[in-house]
Structure 1
Amino acid sequence: MSPELEKTLAGCKTVAAKIRALDAAGYPRAEIARLLGKRYQHVRNVLEEPGPPKLATTEPLAMAMEGMAEADAAFFQYTPPHTYFLSVGANGSVVLPPEVLKALGARPGGLIIADLEDERFTLVSGKAGIQLMKARLAQPPPPGALASLELIEERRREAAIEELEAQMDEAGLRRDD
């Protein structure tokens, strides 16, 4: 097994987890089957199985995951509602659940705004993101700032807003003016 393949499969405890990791790394299904010594149908079944299982209980997360392999527990929702555990693929991608995409009004080619603050990453709809960005960029500069720097910053804010609005228009999202 190549070092790259070993690195991709590191931490995968189950065959299903290995199949998902190789798929996320871009390996074709037939190649995954050959590498793992499994039938193509097995690989297909793992990759085509329905969405994440839901846990309808209020028991602590540690108890909910008891007996589950770590990689198999990456995709499920638990109580309280609207909290998700999302698996990060080998290429760094994260798949959002359909109900999250629906709530954000995201559709193929659409726009979602992300905000990183400290250790918190927040996703908002394109429309809400534009409003947040306008509010953030409209804040006055600190006292004692040079007028020339203030003018340059104002032009940058306007350009950023125009760029976001252009992206919204391209994505087919409406804005409220």
Structure 2
Amino acid sequence: MNNLQFLKNKIETIANNYKEEATGGFITGDGPIPCDIMFVGEAPGKSEVESGKPFVGVAGKNFEKYLNSIGVERSNVRITNTCFFRPIKIKTSKNGKTTISNRPPKTSEINLFREILDEEISIVKPKIIITLGNVPLKRLTNFKAIGECHGTPVHSDDFSCTIFPMYHPSSLTYNQNDEFRKMYEEDWIKLKSVLKKTL
């Protein structure tokens, strides 16, 4: 059994045995191995679980658009998550209708997959890891919030590579103002420049 299959089996075992909170399926990372460029997101949503791939919903379309804007193809990057199952909230309304929505993964849920993410990084051997949002940022660096470090590359001794913190693509949905979009786009331009120096 290769390393990747071993990780997938571990993810499946953890997801199937987790009973503390409601979850809605799981996925694994996607993309070539080894790979110079690795993106780490938060956790899969409904679209991701249905397709078995990270970043395929609305946030995924935004992600690919900006990735292509700096001359990088999705097929040339590795994309994975901090938490590999979909954390969900289940609500039942007064008329009996049940709705399921995403929620952020809890620290304990992130820690369930700590060794798996570390192992995936060691197999992929990236020269640069781009963290998307606060969850992977806090997991892979000592920063506490994306606002204090986005768009600024830092060296990671733990992973022997550059880490480049960015806002999550879904943040464009929540911050629909020109100022935020401009800042977000500038971070991608900075990333393009960092990739040229790093790769």
TM-score past 0.5 threshold = no
Q: RCO (CA 8 Å, sep 6+): is it higher in 1 or 2?
A: 2
TM-score class normalised by the smaller sequence:
under 0.3
Q: Pick the structure with more strand per residue.
A: 2
TM-score by length of 2: 0.22
Q: Max radius of gyration: which structure?
A: 1
